[in-house]
Structure 1
Amino acid sequence: MKQIQMNKSKNLSVEDAYDLFIRKCRVKNLSQASIVSYENKIHPFVDYCEGGLISAVTIDTVDGFTNHLKTEHNVNDVSVVSYLRSVRAFLYYCMECNYMTTFKIHLPKAQKDIKETYSNEQLEKLLAKPDLNSCSFTEFKTWVFENYMLATGNRLSTALNVHIKDIDFDNGMIMLRKTKNRRQQLIPLSASLSEILREYLDIRGGNPDDFLFCNNYGEQASNRTWQTLVYRYNIKHGVNVTSIHSFRHTFAKNWILSGGDIVRLKTIMGHSNIAVTNEYLAMFGQDLQMDFEKFNPLDNLKNRNREQIRM
């Protein structure tokens, strides 16, 4: 049977196999964001194959594409891995369908850059509450939004899909209806954020079904709208870091430095694999040296012994 399937697919082009792969992704109900990501990263591989047959693709083809990305398009190592991860998913699908010979695709190692975070000094500038008697509502709602992002570690798309009714003040929880892994989840609502959101909603008003962070017309706001608002707000307050995603990195970093456990961090941040969460431990390793002696058990024991001797 396998041989028959191989014979039937021997004239299948790489482009046709790609179309079947994307169709399968839609059948599996993958998110539109995932499908777009696949399209952006697999299309260059399809173009590289120049109309060739999927059955002719080998590990040499993959290696040639890797070199093509680096030399012809000057793609950095981290991005190369991202491209190859998508290409690997496509080719493994083709192998499972017996469109091509099976072989292993190993991703090259890449040194990841330290994720950009907000410093304590920058956060003090950004989170200083504006004067409600003189500031615009836009400035106030941007301040609320930045508090929310720092307190939850949400992705932007997740935050913009939160409705007013999803904020459970009584039980101190937030319902996240749209996450990257497409699973709804509950995360804690901190006391500080609860107070800020109560005041925000008192001023803003709105119905339970309304989006918490809407546009000026009460509709769901776009990513670009909030990226622009945050950029303008941060620059105005003398902070040159303007990335919304950096609030997510800052949340993770401060969680780790405050002694928070990695398992709960994985849940709150919605990571599907704890290996992703562990990357933060590696990236912020130098920061973990801060006050190390203060928390190290050996140093604590020695310090206690010294104090007892003095007494």
Structure 2
Amino acid sequence: MKRKISMNEHSNTSLKEVWESFIISQTSRGVSPATIKNYHNHLKGIARHIDIEMPLADLTKRHLEQMVVSMRSDGLAHNSIATYLRVMNTFLRWCQREGLSDVVVPNLKEKDTVKETYSDRELEILLAKPAKNCDFCEYRNWVIINYLLNSGCRAATVRNIQNRDVDLESRQVVFRHTKNGRIQVSPLCSQMVSILADYMTIRKGNPEDYLFCNQYGEMLSENALRLAVAHYNKSRGIQKTSLHLFRHTFARKYLVDCGGNAFTLQRLLGHSTLTMSKRYCNIYDADIAKEFDAFSPLAKMTQQKSRIQRR
């Protein structure tokens, strides 16, 4: 019978060492590489506000409260602090299950913020088809921009799409690499089907090759994709370069311009719950602005005044 390690046995083990054990445990469970990378990065951030060399057994709620105060003093945004606390709680809950610590700290509720998006004018510029004599990379980048606006998918998903995942006849792409590990089917509009059909005749390659590759047919690295989109945008005079802004832009335009709903948006964006989709709905609520003249007290007063003047 396996015996749990008690807190006393590891009374001198530092927070940093236990965090590394936590990462090993999460990796063995099949947690995505992106999440593991975030755990490493968050530890570096936390280390600026708390002594991670202290024995985990000495950690108290007061230490965590002081960490939050330090973060606020350094000017960290409310939602950034909330993210640090959420990750810290994931770590502490793991410690509890392992019998290493019983410290807990309340999560900090994130504030809704207006997500920056690309304007329609910026999108018109980015979606303009490049000249026929452009090189493969510029053409590929144009296709990627189109695809981001078609699907709203994450950068990691774009990088991992393989040729075999694209079914032009069924007008869909299968996402085998998603944040939650679930296979997702993403639809293609008619225009995107045509764009991908042309692109794939040039890209060629085997079924297992990556759809959006570098000029040698190899998978794009995370940094290469980020730099490629940044270069493409700036070459067209657009200073915004974030890939994730296309995800926010997709959500806004789907809700505002296309009359979409939270339930379908959840499926399209691959969210596990409705929480994030509801946030988008709250931020980009188009229905409340439609025909508001019929309900606005100011509009009513103005209309009445106008009618009086015409008499």
Cα distance, 1:50–1:140 mapped onto 2, change above 3 Å: closer
How far off is 1:138 after superposition? 2.7
| Residue of structure 2 equivalent to 1:277 | 277
Give CA-to-partner distance per residue, 1:120-163, whole Å, 9 cap, x none. 1111111122232x433332222111101110111111011111
User: 1:196 deviation in Å?
Assistant: 0.7
Kept in 1, the 8 Å contact 2:141–2:232? The answer is yes
TM-score relative to the length of structure 2: 0.84
Tell me: CA distance 1:16–1:243, structure 2 relative to 1, closer, same or farther (3 Å). Answer: closer
In structure 1, the residue matched to 2:100 is: 99
Pick closer, same or farther for the CA change 1:4–1:129 going to 2, 3 Å: closer
| Alpha carbons of structure 1 residues 102 and 110: separation in structure 2 relative to 1, 3 Å | closer
Equivalent residue number for residue 35 of structure 1: 36
For 1:291, the equivalent position in structure 2 comes to: 290
C-alpha change, 1:244 and 1:78, in structure 2 (3 Å) is: same
Letter in 2 for 1:75: L
Aligned residue for 2:251, secondary structure, equals helix
Query: How far apart, CA to CA, are the structure 2 residues paired with 1:146 and 1:117?
Result: 14
Task: State the alpha-carbon separation in 1 of the partners of residues 280 and 37 from structure 2.
Answer: 26
- Compute the displacement of 1:242 (Å): 1.8
CA distance in 2, matches of 1:205, 1:17: 47
* Equivalent pair of 2:213/2:219 in contact (CA under 8 Å): yes
Q: Residue in 2 aligned with 1:67? A: 69
Q: 1:87 to 1:137 in 2, by over 3 A?
A: same
Superposition RMSD in Å: 2.6
Q: How many residues align?
A: 291
Q: TM-score, normalised by structure 1?
A: 0.84
Cα separation, partners in 2 of 1:292 and 1:92, compared to 1, 3 Å: farther
Asked if 1 retains the 8 angstrom alpha-carbon contact of 2:203 and 2:211, the reply is: no
Give 1:238's aligned residue.
237
Q: How many Å separate the matches in 1 of 2:18 and 2:176?
A: 34
Equivalent residue letter for 2:93 = Y
In structure 2, C-alpha distance between the alignment counterparts of 1:43 and 1:212, rounded to whole Å = 34
Question: Contact 1:55 / 1:101 at 8 angstroms: preserved in 2?
Answer: no
* 2:20 pairs with 1:19: yes
Q: CA separation of 1:43/1:163 partners in 2, compared to 1, >3 Å: closer, same or farther?
A: same
Q: How far is the alpha carbon of 1:62 from its aligned partner? A: 1.0
- How far, CA to CA, are the matches of 1:44 and 1:135 in structure 2? 42
Partner of 2:299: none
Structure 2 residue matching 1:158: 3-state secondary structure: helix
Structure 1: how far apart are the matches of 2:40 and 2:52? 16
The alpha-carbon distance between structure 1 residues 16 and 211, as it changes in their structure 2 partners (threshold 3 A), is: closer
Alignment-mate amino acid for residue 54 of structure 1: L
* Structure 2 counterparts to residues 182-193 of structure 1, below 5 A: 182-193=181-192
Tell me what 1:55 maps to.
Answer: 57
The answer as to whether partners of 2:26 and 2:36 remain within 8 angstroms in 1 is yes
Alignment-derived partner of residue 249 in structure 1:
248
Alpha-carbon distance between aligned partners in 2 of 1:209 and 1:196, rounded to the nearest angstrom = 20
The residue type paired with residue 68 of structure 1 is S
Question: How far apart, CA to CA, are the structure 2 residues paired with 1:259 and 1:294?
Answer: 19
CA deviation string 1:219-253 (max 9, x = no partner)? 00122222222222222323222211111111111
Task: State the percentage of identical aligned residues.
Answer: 32
Equivalent residue letter for 2:71? L
